[in-house]
Chain A
């Protein structure tokens, strides 16, 4: 059975471009809307690309900035300048 990589973000203006980028870049992602928060689940891997977020945000964006809207996450984190990836790969 596939393990689920997951991220939970605040659902506000700052997070919306990130959420949209995740929806665009991760086919098969499952969205759970909660009051004020949104949980995004995907089998095996969930990736946030800097370029996709910047395109929606209209300014430069560093993956670290996700901390400002991050509530929770599941998976091993691989973060660098260009992406923020959660997966169960070691």
Chain B
């Protein structure tokens, strides 16, 4: 006699939430990303008008000049929601820790000569202040933005910038035997060194930009694509014998740029493709901020590398990137 084990497949009554099903055009299994993103932000029935800005509601599409019929169109190709973002960053952090252990055990930074240490302190460490400013900007884009599809990855990006600022700070602590003196010197360079003043002025000017998508373009195509790429991608030659340990310790920044670039490019591309008016606005913003970032990057590139060619290279790469997103510069 054979025993046949039978199974019954119970069809669930619903595969996903009603508001997700309406988005997907039918009741089918949705991904966690979709369920954690689509139509999550409140849109109606706020109790109190925000008195600090009474011309707007809390979430208001008019807080930027670009117009989207649906702010859930610019989705994140990485499909990050809370869990996937944190898992991905926890893994990245393990790699960072391993690299720091490697460099610390061999004392690769501690045994550099004093001149090179001083160059790292005044040339690399001040970028932690730029990361902090970028953190402010992405948090601002999150709080003024519209729709979870854009605002959630913005706050992830803000977290990434804080993490990168911490990585840079730890490089400083490796250089000064954990006293923090290098960070004070770097702060002074950020405040007073002529090489950094253009960068500082640029990031401080972005702080007062109230149009959140304008700010988003300034941050992703200006700060990230020109200034961060200059320091992390085009400045290897500046660090001489320290180039390899610096590249190891800033590996996360390179990986992050490649990964976040996919998202920020997709958002800009989608919003620009929505209408000619959007495209014209975003093109104007991109041109302004890439040009400004190039001007700010020139003295920094000269201080690091001896001439401004790397600044031009970074800015040209940013322009090519912007054009590939459908912008006309």
Chain A residues within CB distance 8 Å of chain B:
13, 16-17, 33-35, 57-59
- Give chain A residues whose Cβ lies under 8 Å from the Cβ of B9: 33-35
Q: Interface residues of B: mostly helix, strand, loop or mixed? A: loop
B residues 66-97 in Cβ contact with A at 8 Å:
76-79
Given contacts A13-B31, A58-B78, A59-B79, 17 further A-B contacts (CB under 8 A): A13-B32, A16-B29, A16-B31, A17-B31, A33-B9, A34-B7, A34-B9, A35-B7, A35-B8, A35-B9, A35-B10, A57-B79, A58-B33, A58-B76, A58-B77, A58-B79, A59-B78
Q: How many A-B residue pairs have CB under 8 A?
A: 20
- Chain A nearest CB: distance from B72 CB in Å? 16
- What 1/0 flags go to B170-193 for Cβ under 8 Å of A? 000000000000000000000000
The 3 A-B residue pairs with the shortest CB-CB distance, nearest first, are A58-B79, A33-B9, A58-B77
Chain B residues, CB < 8 A from A57 = 79
Binary per-residue interface labels of chain B (109-139) against chain A in the complex, 1 for a CB within 8 Å, 0 otherwise = 0000000000000000000000000000000
A34 proximity list for chain B (CB < 8 A): 7, 9
The docked-state distance in angstroms from the alpha carbon of A34 to that of B9 is: 5
> Complex Cα distance A17/B29, Å?
11
- 20 A-B pairs with CB atoms under 8 Å apart are A13-B31, A13-B32, A16-B29, A16-B31, A17-B31, A33-B9, A34-B7, A34-B9, A35-B7, A35-B8, A35-B9, A35-B10, A57-B79, A58-B33, A58-B76, A58-B77, A58-B78, A58-B79, A59-B78, A59-B79
B91 to chain A, nearest CB (A): 12
Chain B residues within an 8 Å CB radius of A16: 29, 31
Docked Cα-Cα span, A57 to B31, in Å, equals 10
Most buried by B among A17, A34, A59: A59
Taking CB atoms, residues of chain A closer than 8 Å to B8 are 35
Bound-state Cα–Cα, A59 to B29, Å: 20
CB nearest to A58 among chain B residues: B79
